[in-house]
Amino acid sequence: MPRITAERRSVNRAALVAAARRCFSRDGFHQTSMPAIAAEAGVAVGAAYRYFAGKDDLIVEVARSAFAVILSPVQRLHDQEADASVADLIAATVEDLDRIRPVDAAGNSIPLDELLRCAVQTWGEILRGGEVADRAAEGVAGALDELASVLRRGQQRGTVPAGLDPAGAARVVMALLHGYLLQRTAFGPIDSGAFAQAVRTLLSPS
């Protein structure tokens, strides 16, 4: 039997992640089984276990990709060594979310609403502890560090008040972003432009 190529393995893995994301988004984490994910992907259950040890591994992967997309504007600002105010960080992330066209490892388009539904479910899963909670804590800590770094640069360049605690402000940014995502996912689309403008008005110095 010929050995599977690395490229084929990557495509197969991406197909399983996409199937899991669809199932999780539609039915929830706990109503979804590995056999259901395998059926959604069109593969045998045994084939699914060649790529993932179990459902928790798929939850971690789906959650990781969801938050990577959601926080990609923050990542970009950090990597570009840009500076931004608290209001600008929130506004940029909210506005960019409507423009992002995420793709998976195989280059297939990912529906944004699927990602958001999985992200919201992840917060509930964190309360159960275990690997999902541990990985989520690592991801949040990394995102908070990047947010604080961007704000710290803003202080150095005079666009962020010198007396502001960057670490504390980063948590404010994260809290507002989580609230926006929860409202959007639970109650439907929000005018991101109006939301961003309201954030700038509320948080900008008078």
- Express each pLDDT in 107-121 by its tens digit: 778 888 888 999 999
Identify which of 96, 95, 20, 26 has the alpha carbon closest to the alpha carbon of residue 61.
Answer: 20
% of the chain exceeding 90 in pLDDT: 27
What mean pLDDT do residues 90-111 have? 80
What mean pLDDT do residues 34-53 have? 92
Examine the pLDDT at 187 and tell me if it is beyond 80: yes
Q: How far apart are CA 46 and CA 51, in angstroms?
A: 9
Examine the pLDDT at 24 and tell me if it is beyond 70: yes
| Percentages (nearest 5) of helix, strand, coil residues in the chain | 70, 0, 30
What mean pLDDT do residues 117-129 have? 87
pTM for the model stands at 0.81
Band (1; pLDDT cuts 50, 70, 90): very low
Domain ranges of the chain: 6-54, 64-203
CATH numeric code, 6-54: 1.10.10.60
% of the chain exceeding 70 in pLDDT: 97
Examine the pLDDT at 78 and tell me if it is beyond 50: yes
